[in-house]
Structure 1
């Protein structure tokens, strides 16, 4: 086995090609298994569980802030990645503990006094998030060593596609299952058939047991992930860090002395801060305010994901042709409208939510790609990883603060009555988010990017840019 230098920070063992191929196959299956676990226990399923335990908007805001802040534990992972020779053991143990803790949260109502259930869940999820963040950071380093650079794009496209199929399939199954317990009446032939054994199972009184069963099933993919991680090969890395502390301080100083990076960081921090005002409330709004079934949410999420996958290449072309700044401005203008759709949505009128899911799947993909491209552009010097870490840490911190502030705002904002129309405090937060997103548009102009076109130029030439070119057009150009 060979050793290859990596960034002047050490060397990494080069595995035989057969071992690499085996590792990539294992990782693809592991990614799908992890996605299955996440879709059985997270998202709308977990939100529904919290709502059944009496969680209110303030609770969701505080949970959003604490769990977001817990992601700062990624710094611990970054520190460990420079100190340990092997990441496999930590990733395996921490990720398994994380998933087991998540599965056990639905058992807390059977163990903890009812008045302490939500507090216990908050503590459990915080611990799980911290351990998961550490494991995630180390896992990224592991995969960076395992996946050959020349095929990373293609490999992760395949891995993500497998995970997407798993996400769509199991989110629909989980949503359908929990939905069966939402009504207080019997549900269909299956419930009638099972009622011969006693009380019909698909009634709301049995919802706690439904969560317990679903999360117990989720333990299976959690164990499968641990088994696969144990079998996935890991190249051994050897480190040498002369004057490491001094080098890190210098790289941080270098990053903050970079005016291009500071301007970019100011924009993403402001946007992350204002966007976090509404982030804790989207899912509770679907379930509680407009009474949308979980399987409908799963279908809309799948459609949004598919729309994003279909259009991501188009966004790449637009970024290359017109620049990243106009793409950010275009997507911001559209996503500024999204929160306004929630002002007119009711239990009998879901159409605006349909628009939001599809449009969000398209627009946020373009926004994220353009922001990532600019981050790469403004990151200069030898220690680019420092720029990435600072971007992640600072945006995470301000997002957590935004969630906390939003939680206190939701407590003091009263509903607004306009004739027979009532604007709830959550909808006022959505309205505020829309206005604040609009205020971030001028900040994009301060970002340094050479040779970009104005956003109006992009709009005028949008359809001609994404239209497939004919052979004659390509020849003449």
Structure 2
């Protein structure tokens, strides 16, 4: 039985305003901070193989903290308290990098620890936030509200990303012109300070939002074994296996596009930011069209479009190093990955009851992070063996594309359920990634509470 909402209309509107501000400030943190972690590591002298791993290995810490999130929520007796705690600490996690940028040095191990803490706190509060936001936004306005919230967050993300790239570009030219070399690292300190303050502002917004139902009833914790072998195993289990294998294959090359652009090709920070923005823009532009395509042709057709479309995306990078050519590649890649993610989330979320979705996605995130680490580690080893030059990058890109072809066998085995009503999922952009456009997590409550009918 659904618990009644004790809030007045005025309180609901106030909650929605602060939730939107939280999304916008979170986007500033991503655009000024997380998007430049790998660039910062390279500027501090980290090797290209290690810098590539920095973009994937720390995510495992976040995935593991997600698994203890339900215990923490239970101890605190509130989803909101856990979200506010993790968000506030995440804002403070920028401090070591700010200090290091001002000092001009940072050991590789400390960089990994700092980014690992960032991701642990970033992803650790995700499941609790998903449950909490479901109690904040009334069902009748969810579709409209989440669409508006997402647009504003996307705008702030692109503005902060390009603005940060422009500041780094100007700072590097200025200090290089004065013969001060690495003095431009202070620009990173400023950007990370902005990112940290933005997250602390986001935390304040969280604190201002009410919690009408601290511990919603009916939420179920589902062991992954039950999902893989239970009544949803045909549609969910095989789909999950395909998703994990494709993640591993893509991550053989995925974390190394940033080092490739900044080191091997020698792009400046403004070009780097522009290319990141293009893949993200591809996702933003494509999402409404993808939703309409799914409604007309079904999620299964969309999955085949995305599953086939992402296969050659890494290999195309070896054709030309021209930024103008890569702009087109990045935009197309963003569209293809958006198609894949929308289709997989539609099928995954619609194949399980509403009160089990957060639990299943939490476990899926942990498995996904593990596959990211496996893929990235294999890529780093191959990169080292191949000599760590531009030909080694090309070998990674071609190998990743070849491995993705093999996932078509798993895709063909996925049972394609007929979804009675297609309701496009709204995503939160947790980070920006070359090739992928972003590392997104679904907002579970953007889908209606009523369980979908599949057959």
Alpha-carbon displacement from aligned partner over 1:23-42 (angstroms, at most 9, x marks no partner): 10111112111111221112
Query: In 2, distance between residues paired with 1:85 and 1:211?
Result: 38
**Mean Cα displacement is larger for which, 328-337 or 373-382?**
373-382
Secondary structure, aligned partner of 2:255? coil
Greater CA radius of gyration, 1 or 2?
1
Is residue 182 from structure 1 mapped to residue 172 from structure 2 by the alignment?
A: yes
Query: In 2, distance between residues paired with 1:173 and 1:109?
Result: 19
Alpha-carbon displacement from aligned partner over 1:95-152 (angstroms, at most 9, x marks no partner): 122122124313125569x5x6221111111122212222222222221110112222
**Mean Cα displacement is larger for which, 217-226 or 379-388?**
379-388
> 1:313/1:222 Cα in 2 relative to 1: closer, same or farther (>3 Å)?
closer
Is residue 56 from structure 1 mapped to residue 47 from structure 2 by the alignment?
A: yes
The equivalent position to 2:379 in structure 1, one of 406, 411, 414, is 406
The equivalent position to 1:129 in structure 2, one of 119, 128, 131, is 119
Question: Is contact 1:184–1:204 with CA below 8 Å preserved after alignment?
Answer: no
Secondary structure, aligned partner of 2:253? coil
The equivalent position to 1:231 in structure 2, one of 187, 208, 221, is 208
Is residue 444 from structure 1 mapped to residue 421 from structure 2 by the alignment?
A: no
List gaps (5 residues or longer) in structure 1. Answer: 188-199, 416-421, 453-477
Is residue 362 from structure 1 mapped to residue 335 from structure 2 by the alignment?
A: yes
Q: In the alignment, which residue of structure 2 is the partner of 1:305?
A: 280
Secondary structure, aligned partner of 1:359? helix
The equivalent position to 2:89 in structure 1, one of 97, 107, 115, is 97
> 1:62/1:168 Cα in 2 relative to 1: closer, same or farther (>3 Å)?
closer
Secondary structure, aligned partner of 2:414? coil
Aligned length: 416
* Pairwise CA distance, 1:162: 0.9
Query: In 1, distance between residues paired with 2:310 and 2:221?
Result: 37
> 1:248/1:47 Cα in 2 relative to 1: closer, same or farther (>3 Å)?
closer
> 1:235/1:110 Cα in 2 relative to 1: closer, same or farther (>3 Å)?
same
Is residue 217 from structure 1 mapped to residue 207 from structure 2 by the alignment?
A: no
* Pairwise CA distance, 1:293: 2.3
Alpha-carbon displacement from aligned partner over 1:264-318 (angstroms, at most 9, x marks no partner): 1221111111111112111111111212222223333334433333332222232
The equivalent position to 1:147 in structure 2, one of 137, 145, 165, is 137
Is residue 293 from structure 1 mapped to residue 268 from structure 2 by the alignment?
A: yes
Question: Is contact 1:36–1:167 with CA below 8 Å preserved after alignment?
Answer: yes
Q: In the alignment, which residue of structure 2 is the partner of 1:85?
A: 77
Q: In the alignment, which residue of structure 2 is the partner of 1:426?
A: 393
Question: Is contact 2:238–2:414 with CA below 8 Å preserved after alignment?
Answer: yes
Query: In 2, distance between residues paired with 1:414 and 1:315?
Result: 41
Is residue 390 from structure 1 mapped to residue 353 from structure 2 by the alignment?
A: no
Question: Is contact 1:332–1:438 with CA below 8 Å preserved after alignment?
Answer: no
Question: Is contact 2:78–2:215 with CA below 8 Å preserved after alignment?
Answer: no
List gaps (5 residues or longer) in structure 2. Answer: 420-455
Q: In the alignment, which residue of structure 1 is the partner of 2:325?
A: 352
The equivalent position to 1:70 in structure 2, one of 61, 65, 71, is 61
Alpha-carbon displacement from aligned partner over 1:40-69 (angstroms, at most 9, x marks no partner): 1121x3222111111223213432443121
Relative to the length of structure 1, the TM-score reads 0.79
Query: In 2, distance between residues paired with 1:320 and 1:227?
Result: 38
Question: Is contact 1:85–1:236 with CA below 8 Å preserved after alignment?
Answer: no
> 1:69/1:218 Cα in 2 relative to 1: closer, same or farther (>3 Å)?
closer
Secondary structure, aligned partner of 1:440? helix
> 1:81/1:151 Cα in 2 relative to 1: closer, same or farther (>3 Å)?
farther
* Pairwise CA distance, 1:239: 6.0
Question: Is contact 2:234–2:414 with CA below 8 Å preserved after alignment?
Answer: no
> 1:444/1:325 Cα in 2 relative to 1: closer, same or farther (>3 Å)?
farther
Is residue 120 from structure 1 mapped to residue 110 from structure 2 by the alignment?
A: yes
> 1:304/1:131 Cα in 2 relative to 1: closer, same or farther (>3 Å)?
closer
Is residue 20 from structure 1 mapped to residue 12 from structure 2 by the alignment?
A: yes
